Amino acid sequence: MDDLRDKWLTAILDAGDEAALEDVRVAAVGKKGEVALKMRELGRMTPEERQQAGPRLNALKDEINAALSARKASLEDAALEARLADEWLDVTLPTRARHAGTIHPVSQVTEEVTAIFADMGFGVAEGPQIETDWYVFDALNIPGHHPARAEMDTFYMGRDAGADENGNPFVLRTHTSPVQIRSMEAQGAPLRVICPGRVYRADYDQTHTPMFHQVEGLALDRDITMANLKWCLEEFCRAFFEVESIDLRFRASHFPFTEPSAEVDIRCSWEGGTLKLGQGDDWLEILGSGMVHPKVLQAGGVDPDEWQGFAFGMGIDRIAMLKYGIPDLRAFFDADLRWLRHYGFSPLAAPTRHAG
């Protein structure tokens, strides 16, 4: 019995890995192992011999199983230490150079515009991009024969899209002005909101894309005039373009949803091919504006005999191009990583209003 004990304890100690240890276990205490076969011999012994050999065999089996468990734990610890040594990493070493993600110029400029107008007391309103043509055209005093309602300019939804309960077909909104109507319906007057978002028009060249971004503003009260509109736009341009001196020119124009209407130009110069705002003898158109038409107020559920207000609209992509010197509007939507790394913004660069 002592020779059997020494044999298997030595074999267990010499097992170099878990696979070899399993082979030893099977050969020693498995169903057909040497110890198991000795246990079967007890049946052929006399009661006196069985009384002596039985306890010794059970003790041997228990000792071998304990040695197997201890050796297995030892092998597992050794394997873990080897793995930790192979996978060791010095956390004080500098990290690998990786390109950090950037904020798209459209997202950055939208946040800048929001921050500036929020400082003037404007809230932010949003609405659906798929609208009925009543919200996009009729509620904004745009007649049925207006060229903007033609299919060559507006994306109408397919016949399967159906229409609303009044039979008005669905379109991809061509401006964010429908949000003004929805805001008037929901909040009434007085009201002061900006409406940023995606809009869609059937146009595509260096300065136009079928989908672009726009922000519109609406202010309603009892005593609002064009003078308030002019001050609001001057303050915005001064803060957004980060220049102390701003000179705006209002040119009479026509929009169905405002009366009177005005295109707004900003003084600039193009010396040396570089655009400089607030100086020079040239003018650059940047937005459209005017006093809200009484029919638009009526469509939004606001009494035009009691309330009046101004509205304006500008392209977010366009003012981003002007401020950051981006030459081609189409590049905004090409998903070119090189372009995004060049014109993108740090995620930590939170926009704030310019101190001037």
Structural domain boundaries in the chain: 2-86, 105-343
* 48-85 pLDDT per residue, tens: 777 777 788 888 888 888 888 898 898 888 888 888 77
What is the model's pLDDT at position 354? Answer: 46
Integer Cα distance of 225 and 266 in angstroms: 20
User: How, if at all, do strands 123-124 and 191-200 pair?
Assistant: parallel
What is the model's pLDDT at position 335? Answer: 83
148 in Cβ contact with 104 (< 8 Å): no
Which CATH superfamily is 105-343 part of?
Bira Bifunctional Protein; Domain 2 (3.30.930.10)
Model confidence band, residue 205 (pLDDT cutoffs 50, 70, 90): low
* Tokens standing for residue 175: 């401006």
> How far is Cα of residue 112 from the mean position of the Cα atoms in its chain?
17
Question: What is the arithmetic mean of pLDDT over 256-270?
Answer: 91
Closest residue by Cα to residue 301 from 150, 152, 186:
186
* Tokens standing for residue 214: 């726009």
Closest residue by Cα to residue 218 from 122, 317, 137, 128:
122
Model confidence band, residue 217 (pLDDT cutoffs 50, 70, 90): very high
Question: Side-chain half-sphere of 333: how many Cα atoms within 13 Å?
Answer: 14
pLDDT over 50 at 356, yes or no? no
Burial class of residue 97 in the structure, from the number of CB atoms within 10 Å of its CB (0-12 exposed, 13-18 middle, 19+ buried)? exposed
Model confidence band, residue 179 (pLDDT cutoffs 50, 70, 90): very high
Query: Interior CA angle at 201 toward 215 and 135, to 5°?
Result: 65
> How far is Cα of residue 206 from the mean position of the Cα atoms in its chain?
26
Integer Cα distance of 59 and 57 in angstroms: 5
pLDDT over 90 at 293, yes or no? yes
Which residues are CB-contacts of 286 (< 8 A; sequence separation ≥ 6)?
Answer: 237, 264, 265, 266, 314, 318, 319, 322
Integer Cα distance of 91 and 303 in angstroms: 68
Helical spans, DSSP H, in 256-334: 294-299, 316-324
* 22-48 pLDDT per residue, tens: 888 888 888 788 877 877 777 777 887
